[in-house]
Amino acid sequence: MPQAPHIVRTIPALLRARSDLRKRSATVGLVPTMGALHDGHLSLVRLAKKRADKVAVSVFVNPTQFAAHEDLGSYPRTWKADLAKLTAEGVDLIWNPDAKVMYPEGFATRIAPEGPAVAGLEDRFRPHFFGGVATVVAKLFSQVRPDVALFGEKDFQQLKVVTRMARDLDLGVRVIGAPIIRERDGLAMSSRNVYLSPTERRQAPVLFATLKATAKRVRDGAPLQSALKDGAVAITRAGFTLDYLEARHGETLEPVTSRGEGPVRLLVAARIGTTRLIDNIKV
């Protein structure tokens, strides 16, 4: 049995734990999460173990990245199961502050990311989101001072935003992206998948199936815009309300009009019932 992780919930306890971790110049990898852990999160933990001597996981449902109408109150919280999973993975440290520790009375600073954060994808539908993410991730980086931090490609625009911010602010953290982990039927794992009704869950794999088919058509020479148009129709027919299905440059997130402008990424966001799902694929 691996040793139980050290759980800390206050800044002074975190700072003590951080210097313990760093003994004998050990390197530290951080995996930021909002809990409700699944195999996608655990894949990041496993990667962190390969890239650093010690692994810290933060479990914090960050209120500043939710808009008032979003699901902060109902976001799944599964602490006991999360702890069991992180213990089984042999994680060294769990940073689990509450909102008052993260944002004490009088807190008045917010990071305003630009570049990939204003690419016109998630930011069009969740204008508050990347400011909240950048602020909490900057805090997590300065609290834990990791050498590397692992983020999933599942949240592709977020990965670009955090990578840019770490560079722009000289935070001394290497941000590493990790591939999307999927259910057997292709649905990208997400803490929010528990919101899906049985009928919605049966429809949900259409999102990835369409991404895959669209990417293949483009690789086979179909014009990008017509492949995307057909993809949008397929997603809508399956009962989704489409927020976007777009082709973007895989590094800059700039719009692209042909495969030749690549590397090309297809990104999608769509709602089924009250659940919003996102996914993406390399062409």
Beta carbon nearer to ligand AMP, 217 or 248: 248
Over the range 98-122, which residues count as b (16 or more CB within 10 Å of their CB) and which as e? eeebbbeeeeeeebebeebbebebb
Of 175, 173, 184, which is closest to residue 44 (Cα–Cα)? 175
Rg (CA), the chain: 19
How many residues lie near ligand AMP (CB under 6 A)?
17
Catalytic residue among 38, 41, 69, 249: 41
Which residues are bridge partners to 267 per DSSP? Answer: 246, 280
Of 94, 278, 134, 65, which is closest to residue 192 (Cα–Cα)? 278
Beta carbon nearer to ligand AMP, 228 or 279: 279
**Residue 187 near residue 270 (C-beta atoms within 8 A):** no
Beta carbon nearer to ligand AMP, 95 or 151: 151
Q: Which stretch binds ligand AMP (CB under 6 A): 122-130, 140-148, 174-182, 229-237?
A: 174-182
Q: How far is the CB of 225 from ligand AMP (least distance, A)?
A: 28
Beta carbon nearer to ligand AMP, 160 or 259: 160
Beta carbon nearer to ligand AMP, 133 or 227: 133
The interface with ligand AMP within residues 112-171 (CB under 6 A) comprises 151-152, 154-155
Q: How far is the CB of 191 from ligand AMP (least distance, A)?
A: 5
Binding-site string for ligand AMP from residue 21 to residue 40, where x marks contact by CB under 6 A and - marks none:
------------xx-----x
Asked if residue 44 binds ligand AMP (CB under 6 A), the reply is: yes
Q: Output DSSP code: residue 182.
A: B
Q: How far is the CB of 166 from ligand AMP (least distance, A)?
A: 13
Asked if residue 58 binds ligand AMP (CB under 6 A), the reply is: no
Q: How far is the CB of 162 from ligand AMP (least distance, A)?
A: 8
Asked if residue 96 binds ligand AMP (CB under 6 A), the reply is: no
Of 161, 157, 155, 71, which is closest to residue 111 (Cα–Cα)? 161
Provide CB contacts within 8 A for 160, sequence distance 6+.
115, 116, 119, 251, 253
128 is catalytic: no
Asked if residue 83 binds ligand AMP (CB under 6 A), the reply is: no
Residue nearest to ligand AMP (CB): 152
Pairwise CA distance, residues 212 & 37, whole Å = 26
Of 50, 24, 216, which is closest to residue 148 (Cα–Cα)? 50
Asked if residue 180 binds ligand AMP (CB under 6 A), the reply is: yes
Which residue of 86, 181, 227, 281 would you call a contact of ligand AMP, by CB under 6 A? 181
Asked if residue 45 binds ligand AMP (CB under 6 A), the reply is: no
Pairwise CA distance, residues 149 & 141, whole Å = 8
Start-to-end CA distance of the chain, whole Å, equals 42
Beta carbon nearer to ligand AMP, 82 or 218: 82
Q: Output DSSP code: residue 125.
A: H
Pairwise CA distance, residues 133 & 67, whole Å = 12
Binding site residues, ligand AMP, CB under 6 A: 33-34, 40-41, 43-44, 151-152, 154-155, 178, 180-181, 188-191
Residues with catalytic function = 41
